[in-house]
């Protein structure tokens, strides 16, 4: 019985694993521009935060 279950698992999971291996790079390439936009937006927010905190840092330094 265990051998039959193992063969059924192999039959269903091997094509799924191959499909995921083929699909993963395509999905990664599709999501790459969104990651780049996220990095840019994060940089803009860091810059704005630094500009807002600049007067307090200057006053603390005096």
What are the tens digits of pLDDT across the range 18-60? 888 899 999 999 999 999 999 999 999 999 999 999 988 888 8
Residue 62's pLDDT is 63
Average pLDDT of span 2-26: 85
Residue 17's pLDDT is 81
SS3 string, 26-61, reads HHHHHHHHHHHHHHHHHHHHHHHHHHHHHHHHHHHH
Domain spans of the chain, in order of start? 25-62
Residue 6's pLDDT is 77
Banded model confidence at residue 1, pLDDT cuts 50, 70, 90: confident
The reported pTM is 0.58
- Is the Cα dihedral 28, 33, 39, 41 positive or negative? negative
Integer-rounded Cα radius of gyration of the chain: 25
């Amino acid at each position: 019985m265990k051998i039959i279950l193992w063969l059924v698992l192999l039959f269903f999971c091997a094509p799924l694993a191959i499909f995921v291996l083929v699909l993963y790079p395509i999905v990664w390439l599709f999501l790459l521009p969104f990651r780049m936009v996220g990095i840019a937006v994060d940089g803009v927010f860091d810059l704005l935060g630094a500009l807002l905190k600049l007067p307090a840092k200057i006053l603390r330094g005096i």
